[in-house]
Structures are given as C-alpha cells and as structure tokens.
Amino acid sequence: METKEAVIALAALAQESRLSIFRLLVQVGPEGKPVGQIGEALKVAPATLSFHLKELYHAGLISSRQESRFIYYSANFERMAALMTFLTQNCCQGMSEECLTMEETGLAGCCTPNSKAKSKS
C-alpha cells in the first residue's frame, strides 16, 4: 500500500459513523450485511448511510454485492490487512520481537474471503 492510499483509507475511517459501519462489517465477516440491517443496527438514516457507505467504498475498505433486491456490504479484509501492514511495517526500528504479534493485535482471528475459499478447495 502506498502512502496516498493509506491516507484515503484513514480519512474514510476518521469519522464516527463510518468507523462504526466498518467495525460492524468486520464483525459480521465476509458474508456482509444488507444495507437496511446496517442502518437499523447503527441507527443511521438511509440518506446518511448511503453517503458513508459510498465514502468507505471509494476508499476500498468495503465491497458490495446485490442479491435479489438487497445490496450487501462487507469489509474488504485484504485492504484492511494492507493498511495494518502499512502502519506497522517499520515497527520498533526493525526489532520485530518488540512489536505486537498478530495474536496480540487481534488480526490472527480475522477472516478473509480468500482464506475461506482456499480452505474449501
């Protein structure tokens, strides 16, 4: 990830509603959640929700898919991991034993669509 991409992603997350939306989508996993349920869960008005989803989408932090008449949004776990890697790639002046491990940051338990798809094949 380049610095410009990281700035765009961090700017998208630097707003309370968008951060809440992203965290909710991370919690539900790769299957995502329909727009209506996101709005209900976070008590966000449809027009406002649409604006925030657009910002997260343009930052590459979420993706969407249509199923029947519903639009589902899900976190882009690869992009999230790339952002986390960007933020920590030079951690502790190259003394990796001093840095937080994946388990300590909670990322080890994170699911990605690719890892689930690979485990099925």
Boundaries of every domain in the chain: 1-121
Tell me the C-alpha to C-alpha distance, in Å, between residue 84 and each of 47, 52, 56: 30, 21, 16
Give the pLDDT score at 44. Answer: 94
Give the pLDDT score at 117. Answer: 39
Q: Which residue has the tokens 């001093």?
A: 98
C-alpha–C-alpha distance, residues 48 and 59, integer Å = 17
Where does the pLDDT of residue 3 fall: very low under 50, low under 70, confident under 90, or very high at 90 and above? very high
Mean local confidence (pLDDT), 45-67: 96
Tell me the CATH number of domain 1-121, given options 1.10.287.110, 1.10.579.10, 1.10.10.10, 1.10.1740.10: 1.10.10.10
User: pTM of this prediction?
Assistant: 0.79
Q: Which residue has the tokens 């989803």?
A: 53
Mean local confidence (pLDDT), 67-94: 88
Q: Which of 9, 40, 12 is CA-nearest to residue 24?
A: 40
